[in-house]
A and B are shown apart, each in its own frame.
Chain A
Amino acid sequence: MSSDQTKLADAQSTQEARMGSGADDRFNSKLREAFGSTPFILTKFDKFMNWVRGSSMFMLQFGIACCSIEMIHTYAIKHDLDRFGAGVPRASPRQADVIIVPGTIVSKFAPRMKRVYDQMPEPKFVVSMGSCTVSGGPFQEGYNVVKGAEEVIPCDIHVPGCPPRPEALIYGVAKLQERIAEGESSPVTVKPYELEQFGDLEQDELVQKLADQIDEEDLVMRYNWGDSP
């Protein structure tokens, strides 16, 4: 190492001079070299942040149904989503910024999913994976099935398929990264199903019937199945 340093001191390029002493070789990446003698970037802060966001996404480890099996495959060996800067699943919603919703959402689960989504810090993005999260999929006619994730939370990307192949999910994630880098925000969606306090529900026969089972302050989700698509 010491002999290297002496050599450097002997022949110092402009680039080295500007970097000053002490900068480690490790930081002297190919990218850095590409900037040549003027290692400055002039960019908009927002643009820079979007680029960073898109290139390092933390996914939430969130499995629901069959699609999550293909999601696991996307993370694991062979498909390895990590290569695209989006590979490390986080177990806690508070550390994640992308949620892949992989599966059928039923009445009992939708409030929990909404809660998990709410716990994620902004900015957050949603990839809805599979026909079930698009529309209810093969179970759309079921008495207990929410007709798509978009009834509950806003979705940025839909990946259709039952289940989508891992390649398709990777494509969806790559598209999301592209969108984030371009600074596009998620589409405005209609979200008929909200979490609200039981006391705030409109009074009708059903609400009165349940009054002795549910506290006023309890959060509830009300499904008007008749109006579902």
Chain B
Amino acid sequence: MSLEKRTPVVDDVGVTEDGVDYDALADLLGDSIIDREHHVNAEGFVIRPDDVQSVLRTLKDEAGFDHCSCVTAQDYDDRYESIYHLKKYRDPTQEVSVVVPTPKDDPRHQTGSDVYETANWHEREAYDLVGIEYDDHPDQRRILLPETWQGHPLSQDFNQDQPQVVSLREHANPLQDDKQSPDDPDTMFINIGPHHPATHGVLHVKTVLDGEQIVDIDPDIGYLHRCEEQMCQQGTYRHQIMPYPDRWDYISAGILNEWAYARAAEDLADIEVPEYAQVIRTMSAEMCRIASHSLALATFALDVFGDFTAVFQYGIRDREIAQDLLEDLTGQRLMFNYLRLGGVAWDLPEPREEYFEKIRDFLDDLPEKLAEYHDLVTGNEIFQMRCVDTGILTPEKVKDYGATGPVARGSGVDYDLRRDDPYGYYDELDWDVVTEDGCDNFSRVLVRLRELEESARIIEQCVDLLEEWPEDDRTIQANVPRTLKPDPDREIYRAVEGAKGELGIYIRSDGTDKPARFKIRSPCFSNLQSLAEMSEGEYIPDMIASLGSLDIVLGEVDR
């Protein structure tokens, strides 16, 4: 089956043939709305701080907005504000923003986490970085910064030079009284990470075990919180922001991330991208996806088989080839910095034929390699025992936690922004969205493996197109002013399908050449939140497999 356009969802309240009918939604919400705002991607309904739950509940249950994509918090001169960006899994082009302003001297409002599970972590982050408090929040702690941190760094009155004290608490004896869970004295507390080979970087998982089974699990993140949002808010749109996206999801997904920023900023400043550049973007982005998924597979094998085995080396081998191709194109192995607002940095490397041939060689070899992977990995009995029916995540829970990407597709949730909210050249090409409905670790790995094939199909068609492209029509960049100053007070939330899922960016402009607020919606952040759901009550090795199959990258979780 080739890519079919989905029929627009029209059976929900407030939806007509041409999209969301915001007036109908406003009628549905009635008096709760105190004002309306216009964002570039959607309308925003301004509501009172104590109406949050009822509004979100109505939008979710009655209007079908089942995906709380992101919660953005920000500090204005005269108020604090949280924005809930809502979407639908069935049709992500139908969006609505719920804007909750709170007074400067007492920034607090009702939590949305009762309605959307995923809002829990998002609100903790908003509390941590901006300083808004959420009433009735189940777990209002800092999430990224150390617990003893003073101040909220993205609020306006934060003094960056003030000293900070960070503690290192030890868990010397895991059987000591105070390390046991109060209601069950037979449990044992252990720390996994932050330096542990199976956590894919610097993740710290606090686990309470009863024998081999997990009673309680609490991922502790923030060991790589390197202020990406602040960095982007300090950079100018035109050139200074683009290098940072490469460093969010650094598993070689650079161009996919750059695209997220490019897409948001281009829509914000109304920049048209030439078609030729879109094809190059599509091609290189899929190469990144291949590189990224091969590493995901390699490290997953590392987790499950426990050592640097053949699968790991094979994965790296194939990744090296994709990286070579990308290096020829962009000049760098990992941090490409290749996209520009309005296009790409330069044309394909000369001689073009040679480059195309290199790509084709890679694509020709791929089916055989995939067969090998299936022999080695998915057909392997030990692997199947570890992965089939472990780490179950049901489709309902996927939506509740806002999980996206291969994690959602491995649970049968058919959601892929490349098709559902098309950008680039994807809607002109012939490819499929891969889903599996096992809901387990195995399905998630299988989805990634099968996506390699689809990416290869996309690249092949792009190469065909590029080969034939008339020489006098190869514009690689639109004409973009040297200093870009989008109109003041434009707000946009735009997402692309990154390697790990929906990578969204919220930008608010204030008329200068730098964004006033730059918020990153990282797919891994939401995906990781579902770890507890997958592993509580399971054996501890299954948790390691689940963590591997989530394929998180800490640079993106912590930002």
Partner of B168, one of A68, A72, A206, A219: A219
Q: Give the residues in chain A near B163, CB-CB below 8 Å.
A: 206, 222-226
Interface segment out of the listed A4-12, A31-39, A177-185, A210-218: A210-218
Q: Does B76 contact A (CB under 8 A)?
A: no
Most A CB atoms within 10 A — which of B145, B164, B319? B164
Tell me, in angstroms, the Cα distance from A222 to B148 when the chains sit together: 11
Q: Does B162 contact A (CB under 8 A)?
A: yes
Q: Does B131 contact A (CB under 8 A)?
A: no
On whether A108 and B146 interact (CB within 8 A), knowing A64-B202, A221-B168, A223-B163, the answer reads yes
Interface string of A79-94 (1 = CB under 8 A from B): 0000000000101010
Interface segment out of the listed B225-233, B431-439, B535-543: B225-233
Tell me, in angstroms, the Cα distance from A66 to B230 when the chains sit together: 19
Tell me, in angstroms, the Cα distance from A139 to B224 when the chains sit together: 11
Number of A-B contacts (CB under 8 A): 166
B148 touches A210 (CB 8 A): yes
A219 touches B167 (CB 8 A): yes
Most B CB atoms within 10 A — which of A91, A104, A144, A213? A144
A219 to chain B, nearest CB (A): 5
Q: Does B165 contact A (CB under 8 A)?
A: yes
Q: Give the residues in chain B near A165, CB-CB below 8 Å.
A: 333
User: Which residue from chain B places its CB closest to the CB of A162 in the assembled complex?
Assistant: B335
Tell me, in angstroms, the Cα distance from A221 to B170 when the chains sit together: 14
Q: Does A174 contact B (CB under 8 A)?
A: no
On whether A220 and B165 interact (CB within 8 A), knowing A70-B334, A76-B312, the answer reads yes
Q: Give the residues in chain A near B295, CB-CB below 8 Å.
A: 69, 72
Interface string of A180-220 (1 = CB under 8 A from B): 00000000000000010010010000110110011000111
Tell me, in angstroms, the Cα distance from A103 to B225 when the chains sit together: 12
On whether A145 and B555 interact (CB within 8 A), knowing A69-B295, A223-B164, the answer reads no
B157 to chain A, nearest CB (A): 13
A143 touches B194 (CB 8 A): no
Partner of A226, one of B153, B161, B201, B320: B161
A218 touches B146 (CB 8 A): no
B231 touches A65 (CB 8 A): no
User: Which residue from chain A places its CB closest to the CB of B243 in the assembled complex?
Assistant: A138
- Main secondary structure on chain A at its contact with chain B? mixed
Q: Give the residues in chain A near B222, CB-CB below 8 Å.
A: 106, 108
Partner of B320, one of A73, A115, A138, A218: A73
B225 touches A65 (CB 8 A): no
Interface string of B236-251 (1 = CB under 8 A from A): 0000000110010011
Q: Does A48 contact B (CB under 8 A)?
A: no
Q: Does A62 contact B (CB under 8 A)?
A: yes
**Contact residues of B between 194 and 226, Cβ < 8 Å to A:** 194-195, 197, 200-202, 222-226
On whether A225 and B243 interact (CB within 8 A), knowing A78-B320, A109-B223, the answer reads no
A65 touches B230 (CB 8 A): no
Q: Give the residues in chain A near B224, CB-CB below 8 Å.
A: 64-65, 103-104, 106, 109
User: Which residue from chain B places its CB closest to the CB of A80 in the assembled complex?
Assistant: B313
Tell me, in angstroms, the Cα distance from A68 to B201 when the chains sit together: 8
Q: Give the residues in chain A near B317, CB-CB below 8 Å.
A: 76-78
Q: Does B169 contact A (CB under 8 A)?
A: yes
User: Which residue from chain A places its CB closest to the CB of B193 in the assembled complex?
Assistant: A112
Q: Does B176 contact A (CB under 8 A)?
A: no
Q: Does A163 contact B (CB under 8 A)?
A: yes
Q: Does A142 contact B (CB under 8 A)?
A: yes
Partner of B247, one of A64, A66, A220: A66
B250 touches A225 (CB 8 A): no
Q: Give the residues in chain A near B145, CB-CB below 8 Å.
A: 107-108, 144
B231 touches A142 (CB 8 A): yes
B223 touches A214 (CB 8 A): no
Name 13 extra pairs, CB < 8 A, besides A75-B308, A223-B164. Answer: A64-B201, A65-B247, A65-B555, A68-B201, A106-B222, A109-B194, A111-B167, A143-B153, A143-B227, A163-B334, A221-B168, A222-B164, A222-B166
